[in-house]
Amino acid sequence: MVDRKTVVADQLVDFLPNLRRFAISLCRSRQTADDLVQAACERALASADRFEPGSRFDAWMFRILRNLWIDQLRRQKTAGVQDNIEDRHDLVGSSGERVVEARLTLKSVSEAIADLMDEQREVLLLVCVEELSYRDAAEVLDIPVGTVMSRLARARKNISAATGLESVDARYANRDGRD
C-alpha cells in the first residue's frame, strides 16, 4: 500500500499555485495568504493519514486551508481584532469619488469578484475556477449542496450586474418588451 504521507507530499508542491490563489481570495492579502498556505501544508502533512486515497486532493487541501482561515478569523474576533477594511479597499477603491465612479462605470471581472460577499466568492472560486463539483464544494465549505447552488447563483448574478453583462440582458429585455 502506498504511504498516504507520500501521496500527499508528492502532490503538495505542484498544487501550491492553486492553493495560494484560493488563499489570496479568502484573505485578500498575499502576505497573510502565504502564511496560510504554509500552515495548511504543514497541517496536511501532519494529518496525511486522514486523506482518502482516490478522493480529490484539491478539495481536501482547500478544506484544510479554509478551516485554518476560519480558526484564525475566530481567534482574531475573540482578540478584538477588526477585519481589515483596508485590504478590501485595496482591491476596489477607497475614496468617495472612486466609489461614485465605480457606480457609474463598469467594473472589471476581478473587481466584481473582489466585491462579492466572502461566502459567494469562495463558492465561485471552488466551482467556476477550480472546477470542483457542487458536492465537493459543499464538503470543502461544510454547507449543504443547496446552499452551494444558491450562493453560486447569486455570486454570478452579482458579477454579471457589476460588469455590465446585465446591460446586455437589459437590451434583450427591452427588445423583447417592444416586440
Partner 1 sequence: MPTVTAGIEMTTFSDETVMRYVDGELDEETSALLEAELATDADLNRRLEMFAETRLAAQEALRPMLDEPVPEQLQASVEAMVAKAKGSPAGQSAPIGNTKARLFSPANDWVRVAAAACIAAVLGVAAGLMLGGREPASGLQIAGIENEELATALGSVPSGDEKTLDSGAFKAVSSFRDSQQALCREFELAIANDSRVSSVACVDAGKWKLRFAVNLPGNDQDYAPASSSEALDAYLAGINAGAPLSAAEEKAALDGLR
Task: Show the cell assigned to 54.
Answer: 482516490
Q: Under the criterion CB under 8 A, does residue 156 sit at the interface with partner 1?
A: yes
Stretch that binds partner 1, among 42-50, 54-62, 69-77, 86-94 (CB under 8 A): 42-50
Q: Under the criterion CB under 8 A, does residue 129 sit at the interface with partner 1?
A: yes
The identity of residue 1, as a single letter, is M
CA-closest candidate to residue 25, choices 61, 62, 72: 62
Q: Under the criterion CB under 8 A, does residue 106 sit at the interface with partner 1?
A: no
d(CA 98, CA 77): 30
Q: How far is the CB of 103 from partner 1 (least distance, A)?
A: 19
d(CA 30, CA 19): 12
Residue 59: CB atoms within 10 Å = 19
Q: How far is the CB of 25 from partner 1 (least distance, A)?
A: 7
Sign of CA dihedral 39, 43, 48, 54: negative
Q: Under the criterion CB under 8 A, does residue 87 sit at the interface with partner 1?
A: no
Binding site for partner 1 (CB under 8 A): 5-6, 8-10, 12-13, 16-18, 20-21, 24-25, 34, 37-38, 41-42, 45, 48, 108-110, 113, 124-125, 127-129, 133-134, 149-150, 152-153, 155-157, 159-160, 163, 165-166, 169, 172-173, 176-177
